[in-house]
Amino acid sequence: MIHTQGLTMERAQAELQKYYGYPDFREGQKHIVASLLQGGDTLGIMPTGGGKSICYQVPALLLPGLTLVVSPLISLMKDQVDALTTAGIPAAYINSTLSGKEANDRLRAARRGELKLLYVAPERLELDWFRMEMAELPISLVAVDEAHCVSQWGHDFRTSYLSVSPFVDGLPERPIVAAFTATATPEVMEDIVRLLRLRDPGVFVTGLGRDNLAMSVLRGENKREFVLDYAASHSQEPGIIYAATRKEVDDLYQRLSAAGVPAGRYHAGMSDEDRAANQEAFLYDDIRVIAATNAFGMGIDKSNVRYVIHYNMPKNMEAYVQEAGRAGRDGEPSSCILLFSAQDIMTQKFLIEQNPQDSERKQNDYRKLQQMIDYCYTTRCLRSAMLDYFGEEHDDAPCGKCSSCTDDRELVDITVEAQKIFSCIHRMRERFGVALVASVLKGSRSQKVLQYGFDKLPTHGALSAKTEKEITEIINVLISEGYLALSEGQYPIVRLQLPAADVLKGQAQVVQRVARAAKSGGSSRSRGSRDVHPSAVNETVFEQLRLIRRELAEREHVPSYIIFNDATLREMSVAQPQTEREMMNVKGVGEVKYRKYGRAFLEFFQRDGDHADYD
């Protein structure tokens, strides 16, 4: 039993202020930290940028002995350890980038009690020699980051995560076990608790819908034109552009570079050296935008990413929320834009078929893909749709900032079209897919339509004035709104749902949003833009503070955001502190970071006095 007597939230808050510069925990963090200080196993589901790491790092400072952190990526470990050591917290990692001597030196430091946190990859827990070394250390807490990787139903299943619970069971004294992830459905949460063998854990799901993110799904855009226009008009802001294939990443990188946008790229077809160089250039703000596949993954801890654009629809909601959540980790307003086209569905189905896996897993992938498609077509508030997917309780109030909530397109009654679609599906005995239903409604005389005799149906040609693409769009909207459903698999069948019956009886109305007539001088690409944060009242001062931060970062050989994030610099530009006390009152500074870095910023304000005349 790990001794936790006397570990209070007051002491935790004092450590938070001292090392991180924040006067209090966020509401979700409070419950998780309190649970760990009471010695209980804990599962925390928190959004990317929600402050998961603080939830185990602060208890690690108070608990006796060592906290072992299981982390999936080398780059993520390095970022975390750089941030901790910069803040004055003794931490280290052991991974394959170290020589045998370096690894042994860090193990000796842990044995001497000189470390509070040690980061390792899950694969290391499978090594006999490492388990023997860990058995000699006083481990009080094992924190499992990206815990969804333990579940085969999660989007990043990693078999080595199954070694965590045998490792914990093999320790002389069982430590507290804490698991954290940004995305987990109820099904995955159950797997985490079961496979990590958490004992009566406190389970906390907090705020997956981040208020600072404006979510948008845009259909029918010229994707290349949109990306080039957006990146050029946001050239001073860091951004990530995700694409589904290496070919698309290379094409975007070349087009951005040719357009004069300093860009990088990242995918598995590049050499390790090139990938590392591009990632480092992005982290250090040498380039502002990077085009990448999802290989550019969980190790991205950059706090000031202002936008994430998905050039293609991701394979499922978990992947989308993880990737989109890399925007605005500092709490500043940021944009998450998904550019959707029907071709994305075919691309993702092809990728599922290329992936060797059992039929049950494949069926699950197809089910998750359909839920992602539904999200792309829904007219509901995107925040609400996302929270419903992950089973998080929330009020029904719209977010007011997503593309559904701000959609000013015209509402058109499509009840008659919906009735014709439902009638056609019924007459086709609910045995065929969307494409064939659309062909029949269009009035096609294709071989397949004639083969089944569907040209004889009363609904054959019932929507002949529309294109098959337009009919397919309406059907997909009806699926996303629950009037229709698709079976799982590569070739899904469309079926009627209960709400369709009321429409067929004329007891319910169906509406769809359609574009208003174009106005001269307007641009569809204005969607997805964001307002300037109210605190950004002095951009000239903010830019000067960024220059000071960059000089310090180059001296310390760490990314700029590890010194202070953008939100902290913006607050400084508003507060314009003149004394040490005023500087330490700025969120994100704190006692330790003030001693290391604060003096340079304070001297800037003391030297130049009031900067209001820069506006």
User: pLDDT tens-digit profile of 92-103?
Assistant: 999 988 888 999
In angstroms, rounded to a whole number, what is the distance separating the alpha carbons of residues 316 and 371?
7
* Domains of the chain: residue spans and CATH: 9-205 (3.40.50.300), 213-389 (3.40.50.300), 410-514 (1.10.10.10), 539-614 (1.10.150.80)
State residue 534's pLDDT score: 41
365-399 pLDDT, tens digit per residue, is 888 998 999 899 888 899 999 988 888 878 878 88
Which helix (H) or strand (E) segment holds residue 119: the answer is strand 117-120
How many H-runs (helices) and E-runs (strands) does the chain carry? Answer: 26, 17
pLDDT-based confidence at residue 155 (cuts at 50, 70, 90)? low
Percentage of the chain modeled with pLDDT above 70: 93
CA 381 distance to own-chain centroid: 18
State residue 221's pLDDT score: 83
Would you tell me how many other CB atoms lie within 10 Å of the CB of residue 398? Answer: 15
**What average pLDDT score do residues 242-263 get?**
93
Percentage of the chain modeled with pLDDT above 90: 54
State residue 102's pLDDT score: 93
Tokens of 392: 């998080």
184-201 pLDDT, tens digit per residue, is 888 889 999 999 999 999
State residue 612's pLDDT score: 45
Q: Give 44's contacts (C-beta < 8 A, 6+ positions apart).
A: 28, 32, 52, 55, 178, 179, 180, 181, 204, 206
Tokens of 175: 């430590």
SS3 357: coil
480-496 pLDDT, tens digit per residue, is 788 998 887 778 899 99
Provide the residue count of the chain: 615
Walk across the sheet containing 139-144 and list its strands: 91-94, 117-120, 66-70, 139-144, 176-181, 42-45, 202-205
State residue 521's pLDDT score: 38
Is the pLDDT confidence value at 138 over 60?
Answer: yes
State residue 186's pLDDT score: 84
Which residue did the predictor score with more confidence, 404 or 47? 404
pLDDT-based confidence at residue 530 (cuts at 50, 70, 90)? very low
Q: Which of 129, 566, 608 is nearest to 330 (CA)?
A: 566
State residue 609's pLDDT score: 56
Tell me, what DSSP letter sits at residue 597? I
Q: Which of 304, 323, 329, 298 is nearest to 76 (CA)?
A: 298
Tokens of 160: 């080595």
pLDDT-based confidence at residue 271 (cuts at 50, 70, 90)? very high
Tokens of 351: 């990728």
The residue assigned the tokens 């009735």 is 419
Complete DSSP assignment for 135-162: HTS-EEEEEESSGGGG-TTSTT--GGGG
Which residue did the predictor score with more confidence, 68 or 546? 68
Is the pLDDT confidence value at 529 over 50?
Answer: no
Tokens of 61: 């400072």
CB 459 within 8 A of CB 422: no
In angstroms, rounded to a whole number, what is the distance separating the alpha carbons of residues 321 and 327?
10
Which residue did the predictor score with more confidence, 205 or 4? 205
Which residue did the predictor score with more confidence, 393 or 502? 502
Beta strand 213-219 with 334-340 is parallel
Tokens of 298: 């969980």
333-342 pLDDT, tens digit per residue, is 999 999 998 7
In angstroms, rounded to a whole number, what is the distance separating the alpha carbons of residues 362 and 351?
11
Which helix (H) or strand (E) segment holds residue 411: the answer is strand 410-413
In angstroms, rounded to a whole number, what is the distance separating the alpha carbons of residues 174 and 168?
6
Is the pLDDT confidence value at 537 over 70?
Answer: no
In angstroms, rounded to a whole number, what is the distance separating the alpha carbons of residues 594 and 580?
8
Tell me, what DSSP letter sits at residue 134? H
Cα torsion 258, 264, 269, 270: sign = positive
